[in-house]
Chains A and B, each alone.
Chain A
Amino acid sequence: MTLGLTPSQTVGPFLAIGLPWPDGPDVVDLATPGAITISGRVLDGAGEPVPDALVETWQAAPDGSFAHPDDPRGGGDPHFRGFGRSATDTAGRYNIVTLRPGPFPGRDGGTEAPHLDVSVLARGLLDRVVTRIYFADEEAANAADPVLATVDPARRGTLIATPEPGGQAGRFRFDIRLQDPQETVFFDV
């Protein structure tokens, strides 16, 4: 039996009624040892902030595990939520507090570098767009990552979170540009 899939529709301008959670941006509490913040802006094709977007993140725990039955390695910490959700503010800014994900085996061999999967939803997006956040200070792991290897080298930088300029340790910046000229790499998942 094959059933037809339910199509996607835009989240619309009023997502704030239904989707943000008070603790959504906090994958972990900021006071957790090792907590990092990833923040940035969602920008449209004119470089203007997108104030009605929702940024969601999903990631491995620091040991590279997922508390999920389809991780064949088993284990995983069920207390690590792994999921973050942040609505953008009037400046298009989102903010996620989490722990750095660990590396883990790739589907077809090799090792996936530490990363977060990201869904972006907004008015004007008829389906979510998906990207990934990697870390600038994981140069060796990024160089060996099987997914980054499939991305045009000239555009890989759009997938790399960088230390916040002049910021404290553990504060990363990752802007999401929905459209040219510096368009973020999006994935067909």
Chain B
Amino acid sequence: MTTGQATTEGLTLPSYERPVGVHPPLDTPEYRSTLLRSPKRAPVRLPHGLTEVTGPLLGAERVTAGDADLTSRHASEPLGERMILTGRVLDSDGRPVPDTLIEIWQANASGRYAHGVDDHPAPLDPNFDGAGRCMTDSLGRYRFVTIKPGAYPWKNHLNAWRPQHIHFSLFGRAFTQRLVTQMYFPGDPLFAQDPIFNSVPDPRARERLICQFDLEVTEPEWALGYRWDIVLRGREATVFERASERGEHQ
């Protein structure tokens, strides 16, 4: 399979699919912070050139042993419900995305972030900073050990509360695949009033932000297990790949 070659007419490069109806509209007035921050003009379509089909291949130098276990980085264990969170990073063709950096951050069990801007009057936990990192393995798998984050109030509207969530940042293998998102927990009663969760227009796409409880991942006498797969943009087949599938070329 040839992913590209230089020609006098330019370069033969992969293209990445352009998602329609998956991501939230930037202008979502129910989430008040969008009002002054969302661009008003239509974006200009950018062809996928070399800068877009490549991307930082940040490696293991960004991760140290223990970064994937948010419960073991301090003098004692944090308070809260210990949990294992595992899954795979795939592209939309179902291919694993190996060796890619995942960064997460979250509130502690009482719904407080270890950040100076967070003024929620819930206790900080000296044994929890809420940041984690890991690399996917050769099959695109990742695994974190953490505690379940608490829900917390915010000032978006009267009596506004964020559902329990963990923030995720992923690079994939190309600039086009960069994704920052939030993972939620099954059955959260706060979904209905959360404008960030509901900013995703398609209810089926919204469901893909929710992890699943998994008894197979759960470790007896130790921690609950959750599973969440993340799907990044896949490639459109190139002319060469399509021809190859028809058996016209080698």
A16 to B167, CA, bound (A): 12
Q: B125-152 interface mask toward A, CB cutoff 8 Å, 1 = contact, 0 = none?
A: 0000111100000000000000000000
Looking at A28-36, A104-112, A163-171, the stretch in contact with chain B turns out to be A104-112
Residues of B within 8 A of A11 (CB): 167, 169, 180
Number of residues from B at the complex interface, CB < 8 A: 88
B105 touches A150 (CB 8 A): no
Interface residues on A, range: 35 or more
Name the interface residues of B178-192: CB closer than 8 Å to any CB of A. 178-182
A7 touches B33 (CB 8 A): no
> How far does the Cβ of A145 sit from chain B's closest Cβ, in whole Å?
10
B6 touches A72 (CB 8 A): yes
Residues of B within 8 A of A10 (CB): 31, 33, 180, 182, 196
A137 to B93, CA, bound (A): 42
Residues of A within 8 A of B169 (CB): 11, 18-19
A104 touches B37 (CB 8 A): no
If over half of B's interface residues share one DSSP class (helix, strand or loop), that class is named, otherwise mixed; here it is loop
Q: State the total of A-B contacts with C-beta under 8 angstroms.
A: 257
A105 touches B10 (CB 8 A): yes
Residues of A within 8 A of B58 (CB): 81, 83
Specify which of A4, A21, A81 lies most central, judged by the most chain B CB atoms within 10 Å of its CB.
A4
* A8 in contact with B180 given A71-B50, A127-B24 (CB within 8 Å): yes
Task: Confirm or deny: B53 has a beta carbon within 8 angstroms of a beta carbon on chain A.
Answer: yes
Residues of A within 8 A of B33 (CB): 10, 123-124
Residues of B within 8 A of A66 (CB): 50-51, 54
A161 to B3, CA, bound (A): 33
A180 to B37, CA, bound (A): 10
Specify which of A12, A44, A112, A130 lies most central, judged by the most chain B CB atoms within 10 Å of its CB.
A12
A59 to B173, CA, bound (A): 14
Show the binding face of B for A, using Cβ within 8 Å. 3-6, 8-14, 18-19, 22-26, 28, 31, 33-41, 43-58, 62, 90-94, 103-105, 113-115, 117-118, 129-132, 167, 169, 173-176, 178-182, 196-197, 199-200, 204-206, 208-209, 230-234
4 closest A-B pairs by CB: A18-B105, A124-B33, A72-B4, A124-B37
